[in-house]
Structure 1
Amino acid sequence: QDGSDNDDHESDVENLLSFKNAITLNPMQSLSTWTVNNSEQLCSWNGIWCRKGTQRVVAIILPQLGLE
């Protein structure tokens, strides 16, 4: 990865973790894979879809998980 790819990856991680932290109810613990320690595996986080090649997040799909 070049520097800009790494910056993009870090930005995706930061934004997703901020989103997770704003959630006040996560009854199924469906975002348990969303951690800094697991950030290299961002594209395997629950509900995250990435573009092949760039590994940039292109969609977040979290249906019927009771998130608030």
Structure 2
Amino acid sequence: MANIPQVASDKLFGIGAGVGYYKGEGAIAVGISGQNRGKNVVYKGSVSLGTKSDIGVAAGINISLGES
């Protein structure tokens, strides 16, 4: 799920997909990512399905603080 790309910096929302293979097992994943209009909050969520019908889920959020 880590290989699903992040939303483009000039967009607010995106949908992505990825595939993976490890030790004889494959998986597919679908995820969403987005950011608020101020671009200081970024979120991601995804779900995956493996070749043995294993299901995985992931979610994350980043809140950026301070000025550069």
TM-score (norm 1): 0.27
- Higher strand proportion: 2
Larger Rg: 1 or 2?
2
Bigger relative contact order, structure 1 or 2 (CA pairs below 8 A, ≥6 apart): 1
Structure 2-normalised TM-score? Answer: 0.27
